[in-house]
A = this chain, B = another copy of it.
Amino acid sequence: MSRRPGNELVFLPLGGAGEIGMNLNLYGFGPPDDPEWLMVDLGVTFGDGSIPRADVILPDPTFIAERRDRLIGLVLTHAHEDHLGAVPYLWDRLRCPIYATPFTAAILDAKLREAGLNKVPVKIVQLGSRFSLGPFDLELITLTHSIPEPNAIAIRTPLGAILHTGDWKFDPDPVVGPVSDEAALKALGDDGVLAVVCDSTNVFEKGVSGSEASLLETLTKVIADSPNRVAVACFASNVARLETIARAAAANDRTVVIAGRSLRRIEAAARGTGYLQDTPAFVDEADCGHMPRDKVLIICTGSQGEPRAALARIAAGTHPNVALEPGDRVIFSSRVIPGHETSIARLHNQLVRTGVDVITWRDHDVHVSGHPCRDELAHMYALARPKIAVPVHGEIRHLIEHARLAKTCQVRTAIVAENGSMVRLAPGRAEIVDTVPSGRLMVDGNRAVSIDGEVVRSLNRTIFQGSAVVTVVFDRKGRLVESPMMSTTGLTDAGEDEVESDVIAAIETAIEKAGPLAHDEAIVEAVRIATRRAFFATIGKKPWTRVHVVRH
């Protein structure tokens, strides 16, 4: 008589545990060998330039895609790219229903339509609502963040309750939307919380993140001090910031113009779901040119120096509708996303070179973070009082520091789990019990490929040493019919034709040495070695070399 194993409750991050961005969280409940799975968030991250072509990066969903018959749904905590941006790319491999609150659903819907995906079942759930998915009893708990409708999810199971925070802060005056539902958090804590899975972004920052409303005064003043045009760059999805800026503009009798496609999309989603109701409609960028310089304020995308965004084009003088002149002012109402330091500096330089004045959060209080600093984290643990803390949404250094902090908040167990670590939360002692395949994909052309695959490897080889493709043509007697043809990448500059002819001569010599009886493999190897040696001797590079052998 075999003993049937009992149910287990596990947490398994496939993204976001080891980086800030690209969130993919799984909760499993059931027998260890075949639990039912709930997915929370499915986001992208953006490349930092260290991997060629890796601009948009996705979590590798293979583990859960292979078990999609047991995947009961995807719940989205909020509409940021790093929480839902991967849905259009990966939904086809998952094909599960998606649950989101109205604003998040509106944003997702626009993205899905743009990707030509019309049949994705997106189910709208209300703020603060409670619903069941398989063995999981879910309750959305309203928090505050830099986008409307950020939800923590209370996940109740027969083995205990989990609080999955999503991205959050405790903002006493968030400008848009209600304050955090601390009563619900406390009630959950009173009932007993097994584990909190929590945002680690700002764990190195002391104190609190500050309130969105606190920016109004500074922004109003900075705009009042500006005699000419003012452009404000911010994250498009920060609807509260749009409202704060609009209020500051109104206080200065300026009309708000918005520039940038994602701002239009967010404005539509926000107004369509009941936000920005008291804010006058933003003016289209096409009308910007006619307005007096001191009566206009332009909200634009591109605060991270993204080359195709509105601000980069304005700075380069190539924007079709918006131009800045000496004496105008740009306010960066945003932080620097790590990896974007140099692109932002480049943009900043380009602006001041044309005589435009630049204001950033470094010199004025024109930005607050949307993530909890240490005092806010401590307050969250005081409300929820979990047995276990599992930090997510951070690099490993953030996770480790967050685990340390949680332990000072009377949390008995803190588990640092990186992507692919399966954490058994119950029954028994919480611990990492398995490691499953995880990884990163990148969007490449119209598909996603592995970030460690041949596409990137071949690019890296070429960037490092260059590449050469050589065609050699033989007659029936094994003699070269004509001079080898060669096409190279990353090897010679204008005026270096002689280098290539020297290499061709070296290839001819090598072929002669190999003799007329040499078979194709020997020819390929001889040409490869001769090409690499000859380039190395002349320019110091050993190119990746491929050979096309043609025989008459």
Residues of A within 8 A of B (CB): 18, 48-50, 52-53, 204, 338-339, 341-343, 345, 348-349, 352-353, 358, 362, 395-397, 400, 444-447, 449-450, 453-456, 458-459, 462-464, 466-467, 469, 471, 473, 482, 485, 487-494, 536, 539-541, 546, 548, 550, 552
Return chain B residues, CB-CB under 8 Å to A463. Answer: 52-53, 459, 463
Partner of A49, one of B49, B348, B449, B454: B49
Return chain B residues, CB-CB under 8 Å to A397. Answer: 345, 348-349, 352, 358
Min C-beta distance of A346 to chain B, whole Å: 8
Number of copies: 2
Min C-beta distance of A12 to chain B, whole Å: 19
Contact indicator B342/A338 (Cβ below 8 Å): yes
Return chain B residues, CB-CB under 8 Å to A492. Answer: 454-455
**Known contacts A539-B446, A552-B552: A48-B493 contact under CB 8 Å:** no
Residue of B nearest to A418 (CB): B353
Q: A349-B397, A462-B489, A462-B490 are in contact. List 12 more A-B contacts (CB 8 A).
A: A49-B49, A49-B50, A52-B463, A352-B397, A446-B539, A449-B493, A450-B493, A455-B492, A459-B490, A467-B489, A471-B471, A485-B548
Return chain B residues, CB-CB under 8 Å to A536. Answer: 445
Return chain B residues, CB-CB under 8 Å to A466. Answer: 455
A546 to B467: give the CA distance in the assembly, Å. 13
Contact indicator A352/B400 (Cβ below 8 Å): yes
Contact indicator B458/A489 (Cβ below 8 Å): yes
A353 to B488: give the CA distance in the assembly, Å. 41
Can you report 25 A-B residue pairs in the complex whose CB atoms are below 8 A from each other?
A: A48-B342, A49-B50, A50-B342, A52-B52, A52-B463, A52-B490, A53-B463, A352-B397, A352-B400, A444-B541, A445-B539, A445-B540, A447-B539, A447-B540, A449-B493, A454-B493, A458-B488, A459-B462, A459-B489, A469-B546, A471-B471, A471-B548, A473-B550, A482-B550, A485-B548
The main secondary structure of chain A at its interface with chain B is: mixed
Return chain B residues, CB-CB under 8 Å to A446. Answer: 539-540
Contact indicator B341/A339 (Cβ below 8 Å): yes
Contact indicator A490/B342 (Cβ below 8 Å): no
Return chain B residues, CB-CB under 8 Å to A50. Answer: 49, 342-343
A358 to B339: give the CA distance in the assembly, Å. 21
Return chain B residues, CB-CB under 8 Å to A453. Answer: 493-494
Residue of B nearest to A464 (CB): B53
Return chain B residues, CB-CB under 8 Å to A339. Answer: 341-342
Contact indicator B349/A345 (Cβ below 8 Å): no
Return chain B residues, CB-CB under 8 Å to A546. Answer: 469, 487
A348 to B401: give the CA distance in the assembly, Å. 12
Partner of A395, one of B53, B345, B550: B345
A351 to B397: give the CA distance in the assembly, Å. 9
Min C-beta distance of A168 to chain B, whole Å: 23
Return chain B residues, CB-CB under 8 Å to A469. Answer: 469, 487, 546, 548
